[in-house]
């Protein structure tokens, strides 16, 4: 058995090292050491400005009662079996833990640790401190802090961890700090504790990502769930499903489904390329959403608040549900669904839904209880001097007629279109900057 010092070992000695030998690192801290397992079987170690290539036997070295690093740090390297790091106790140590080829269990304990699982389905726990964790080649489970497991409260310096699953279908759980969690290749599951503002990136594969902060799906059909008050969610390529509380969401390329729920603030949603579905999940709540469908045949559904809905390019379907919405269809033959009408104390519409870019190829559909599609005989055009007068005139025009009725009223520079059902209040929509020449019975579906 021979004992070497990292700073003086020669290249020949490093390549000829055996499992019975030992390498001392002196006062070099564990978080200053980088270990790279090469495809040729050798191991490249970099520390304190020096890089040494060791023979394959170096990967089998493990803790044997010696102190391979400084007195306040440990470097533990597993072999090809199923290794388990020793219990960390309560000491705050900065450890370097490398799993080797088996299904390893690595626990960094307290301190700023570097963990690498390498081959095998590994279980990696960072513990306290600001840790750097790499999963490796197989389906790994990475937990940055014990708080994510059982609610234990760790010191204030816990958090700010970095974890990457690399290959395999990994499970990565962040702690209460501002973590950066990367899934890598494979269909990964990434989450973080409530209260943290993190960067969570699924990368390749069909990933499930849940947390607060910036969530990126990138490639694959991803599921993103934002839990914070001001999240930024990006689906990337693929048919993604995104749930936003409030903040910003971008579906990217693909046929995405994006839902806004629960939040009391503003939500801004961009569908991106593809046939997207953008929906305020709690329709009765005034969420105040801004939806932009992007290119493709999109479906947009607002909330009970003041929404801004833009279909953009493509034949889109837009439903404001209620509230003083501002709606644009964009290029293409769009369909606008109209559900309600309310008057204020003057008789004017209290919450008019306005279509800002009505084109003659667009369609209106009155979708409320008591309304059924009629015929050309049920369509009328009249003029009025005010919104209140328009409602009274439209109501009078259909007073003696049976069945559902359509009435288009020219009011100044706009057209107000009413739909009267049977046994229910009417619904209406304002076509901004249009005349009666821009609408006909053929525009109704």
Give residue-wise pLDDT tens across range 162-175.
999 988 999 999 98
Question: What's the pLDDT score for residue 68?
Answer: 35
Instruction: Work out the percent of the chain whose per-residue pLDDT is above 90.
Output: 48
Q: How far is CA 257 from CA 72, 77, 104, 206, 327, in A?
A: 51, 45, 38, 15, 20
Question: What's the pLDDT score for residue 318?
Answer: 97
Report residue 407 as tokens.
């009435």
- If you average pLDDT over residues 380-393, what whole number do you get? 91
Report residue 228 as tokens.
């914070």
The Cα 441–Cα 226 span in angstroms is 44
Q: What is the bridge-based pairing of β-strands 43-47 and 34-37?
A: antiparallel
- If you average pLDDT over residues 412-421, what whole number do you get? 93
DSSP line for 147-179: HHHH-PPPPTT----EEEEESSS-EEE--SS--
- Give the range among 154-163, 233-242, 244-253, 274-283 with minimum mean pLDDT: 154-163
Question: What's the pLDDT score for residue 20?
Answer: 84
Question: What's the pLDDT score for residue 222?
Answer: 97
The Cα 32–Cα 380 span in angstroms is 80
Q: Which residue has the higher pLDDT, 412 or 246?
A: 412
For 183-200, write each residue's pLDDT tens digit.
999 999 999 876 678 999
Most distant pair of Cα atoms in the chain: their distance? 107
The pLDDT confidence band at residue 377, using thresholds 50, 70 and 90, is confident
pLDDT of 86 > 80? The answer is no
Core vs surface per residue 316-351: b (16+ CB within 10 A) or e? bbbbbbbbebbbbbbebebbbbbbbbeeeeeeebeb
Question: What's the pLDDT score for residue 351?
Answer: 62
- If you average pLDDT over residues 220-237, what whole number do you get? 95
The pLDDT confidence band at residue 57, using thresholds 50, 70 and 90, is confident
Report residue 27 as tokens.
């006062």
For 135-155, write each residue's pLDDT tens digit.
988 899 999 876 655 444 444
**Nearest CA among 58, 47, 46 for reference residue 15:** 58
For 124-138, write each residue's pLDDT tens digit.
998 888 889 999 888
**pTM metric for this prediction:** 0.77
pLDDT of 263 > 90? The answer is no
The pLDDT confidence band at residue 87, using thresholds 50, 70 and 90, is very low
Q: Which range has highest mean pLDDT (225-234, 384-393, 434-443)?
A: 434-443
The pLDDT confidence band at residue 374, using thresholds 50, 70 and 90, is confident
Question: What's the pLDDT score for residue 39?
Answer: 64
Helix ranges (DSSP H) in 274-411: 387-397
* Residue 58, SS3 per DSSP: helix
- If you average pLDDT over residues 6-11, what whole number do you get? 95
Question: What's the pLDDT score for residue 276?
Answer: 97
Question: What's the pLDDT score for residue 195?
Answer: 67
Contact between 220 and 204 under an 8 Å Cβ cutoff? The reply is: yes
Question: What's the pLDDT score for residue 341?
Answer: 65
For 271-328, write each residue's pLDDT tens digit.
999 999 999 876 556 667 899 999 999 999 998 788 999 999 999 999 988 778 999 9
For 347-373, write each residue's pLDDT tens digit.
555 567 899 999 999 999 988 877 888
Q: Which range has highest mean pLDDT (18-22, 38-42, 267-271, 300-304)?
A: 267-271
Number of other residues whose CB lies within 10 A of the CB of residue 378:
19
The pLDDT confidence band at residue 261, using thresholds 50, 70 and 90, is confident
Contacts of residue 69, defined as CB under 8 A and 6 or more positions apart, other chains included, come to 25, 26, 28, 29, 30, 33, 75, 96
**Nearest CA among 227, 228, 224 for reference residue 251:** 224
Output the average pLDDT for the chain. Answer: 84
Question: Nearest 5 degrees, angle CA 14-CA 17-CA 18?
Answer: 165
Contacts of residue 66, defined as CB under 8 A and 6 or more positions apart, other chains included, come to 22, 24
Question: What's the pLDDT score for residue 229?
Answer: 84
- Give the range among 22-26, 140-144, 213-217 with minimum mean pLDDT: 22-26
């Amino acid at each position: 058995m021979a004992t070497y010092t990292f700073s003086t070992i020669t290249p020949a000695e490093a390549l000829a090292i055996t499992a019975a030998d030992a390498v001392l690192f002196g006062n070099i801290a564990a978080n200053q050491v980088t270990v790279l397992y090469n495809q040729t079987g050798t191991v490249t170690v970099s520390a304190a400005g020096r890089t040494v290539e060791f023979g394959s036997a170096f990967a089998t070295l493990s803790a044997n009662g010696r102190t391979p690093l400084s007195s306040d740090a440990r470097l533990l390297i597993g072999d090809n079996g199923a290794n388990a790091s020793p219990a960390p106790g309560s000491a705050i140590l900065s450890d370097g833990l490398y799993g080797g080829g088996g299904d390893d269990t690595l626990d960094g304990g307290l301190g700023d640790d570097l963990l690498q699982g390498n081959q095998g389905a590994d279980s990696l726990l960072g513990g306290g401190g600001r840790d750097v964790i790499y999963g490796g080649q197989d389906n790994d489970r990475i937990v940055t802090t014990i708080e994510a497991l059982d609610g234990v409260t760790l010191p204030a310096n816990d958090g700010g961890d970095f974890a990457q699953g690399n290959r395999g279908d990994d499970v990565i759980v962040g702690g209460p700090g501002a973590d950066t969690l990367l899934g890598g290749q494979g269909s990964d599951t990434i989450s973080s504790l409530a209260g943290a503002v993190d960067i969570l990136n699924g990368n390749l594969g069909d990933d499930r990502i849940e947390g607060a902060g910036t969530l990126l799906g990138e490639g694959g059909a991803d599921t993103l769930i934002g839990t914070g008050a001001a999240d930024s969610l990006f689906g990337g390529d693929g048919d993604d499903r995104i749930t936003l509380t409030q903040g910003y969401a971008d579906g990217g390329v693909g046929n995405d489904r994006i839902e806004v729920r629960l939040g009391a603030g503003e939500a801004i949603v961009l569908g991106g390329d593809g046939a997207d579905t953008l929906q305020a999940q709690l329709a009765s709540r005034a969420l105040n959403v801004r939806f932009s469908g992007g290119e493709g045949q999109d479906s947009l559904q607002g909330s009970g608040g003041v929404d801004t809905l833009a279909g953009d390019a493509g034949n889109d379907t837009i439903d404001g549900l209620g509230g003083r919405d501002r709606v644009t269809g964009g290029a293409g033959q769009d369909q606008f669904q109209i559900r309600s009408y309310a008057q204020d104390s003057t008789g004017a519409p209290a919450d008019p839904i306005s279509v800002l870019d009505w084109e003659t190829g667009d369609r209106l559909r009155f979708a409320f209880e008591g309304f059924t599609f009629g015929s050309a005989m049920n369509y009328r055009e009249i003029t009025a001097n005010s919104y209140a007068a328009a409602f009274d005139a439209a109501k009078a025009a259909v007073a003696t007629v049976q069945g559902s009725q359509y009435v288009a009223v020219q009011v100044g520079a706009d057209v107000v279109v009413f739909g009267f059902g049977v046994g229910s209040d009417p619904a209406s929509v304002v076509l901004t900057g249009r005349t009666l020449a821009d609408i006909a019975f053929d525009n109704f579906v």
